[in-house]
Amino acid sequence: SFEEYDTCPGDVGQITYAKYWYSPTLGSPDYFNMCTTNQCPNYVDIGVPNNRYGYQHPRTGFGYAGLGPYVSWLDTNQDYLEYLQIRLLSPLIINTKYKLTVFISIANISTFAINSFAALFTSNLIVNNNSSELILVPSCVFSEFYSDTSNWIELNAIYTATGGEEFLTFGNFNYSVNTDTLRIGLGMEGGRDGINYLYIDDVSLTQQEQITEIFPNVFTPNDDGYNDTFNFWFTGSGTMSIFNRWGVKVFEKFGNNNIEWDGKYMGEYCSDGVYYYILSKIKNENVKGSIQLIK
């Protein structure tokens, strides 16, 4: 909800003043918060509800963010697009559905609506040392031409995790020339033509269903890059113990949602054969089974 901040914003392009949020590129998303006062030299630019991009109150609380997912008028050889990124509280669980909700409002400065505002879940941090577009395949696309400059619009999407995603990024993942636009007005007086600017507030990600434990029963730790590790995906927290056929414990590890075994015991690969595991979960019944190691 962009309520927590390290420093009250005093100028545009200061999204990093909002705790947890940042830009994955050299683009400069904005942070707006009512903590800014009339004494701030750039109050006219980042004030709430009045600012350089339009007029909008926070949907809840005192703050919100803003970014430009489409700008066509810059005199440059590259696009200039802005993105917002945040690290999730915990990695997503494989085959689990999540509901993503974000509220947007179209700033008054906008002359166009676009239908390619999107969200991307990734396992790794995205870092791009320029201000151009991120040409990546988004996880969820909000494919309507949103044009409401007065109200907050609720956007929802259901995402099925591939497992291990830790970062969420918002923006437009198209080249400007490939972005569909719809003219919605002339923008603010004195503004430039060819821009879409969004206010963003109240982002949430909610797990929609629990998954059952997913344990493959064969793996091949031979360093060929395929099926080299044995991944245990489960809900909650627990300790995984693995024993050979003589009852010797060859592996033990505590984890949340996922535990991985590379097939080694005391630094050496274990021999081919059947191994037995026990997942001792903190809040649920233990899970037992067997796996086969083939090299």
pLDDT tens digits along 75-129: 445 568 899 999 999 999 888 889 999 999 999 999 999 999 999 999 999 998 8
69-91 as b/e: b if 16+ CB within 10 A? bbbbeeeeeebbbbbbbbeeeeb
Q: Which residues face 170 on adjacent strands? A: 84, 119
Name the residue among 198, 224, 219 with its Cα closest to residue 263.
219
Quick one: pLDDT at residue 76? 47
Please give the model's pTM, rounded to 2 decimal places: 0.70
Least confident of 84-88, 254-258, 283-287: 283-287
Asked whether residue 219 carries a pLDDT value surpassing 60, the answer given is yes
Alpha-carbon distance of 34 to 283, in angstroms, equals 43
pLDDT tier at 284 (50, 70, 90 boundaries)?
Answer: low
Q: Which among 184, 104, 108 is positioned nearest to 147, based on CA atoms? A: 184
Better-scored residue on pLDDT, 62 or 45:
62
User: What DSSP designation does 16 have?
Assistant: G
- The H or E element containing residue 43 is helix 43-46
pLDDT at 41: 62
Pairing status of strand 287-293 against strand 218-219: parallel
The Cα 51–Cα 38 span in angstroms is 12
Fill in the amino acid letter for 173: F
228 and 145 Cβ atoms separated by less than 8 Å: no
Please check the confidence at residue 190 and state whether its pLDDT lies above 70.
no
- 67 or 222, which is more confident? 67
Count each helix (H run) and each strand (E run) in the chain, helices first.
Answer: 1, 21
Residue range 223-237, pLDDT digits in tens: 877 778 888 877 778
Q: Which residues, listed in sequence order, are joined to residue 224 by a DSSP beta bridge?
A: none
Q: Classify the C-alpha dihedral 167-221-217-289 as positive or negative.
A: negative
How far, in Å, CA of 92 to CA of 74, rounded?
A: 38
- Summarize the confidence of residues 40-48 as an average pLDDT: 75
C-alpha closest to that of 164 among 214, 127, 116, 118: 214
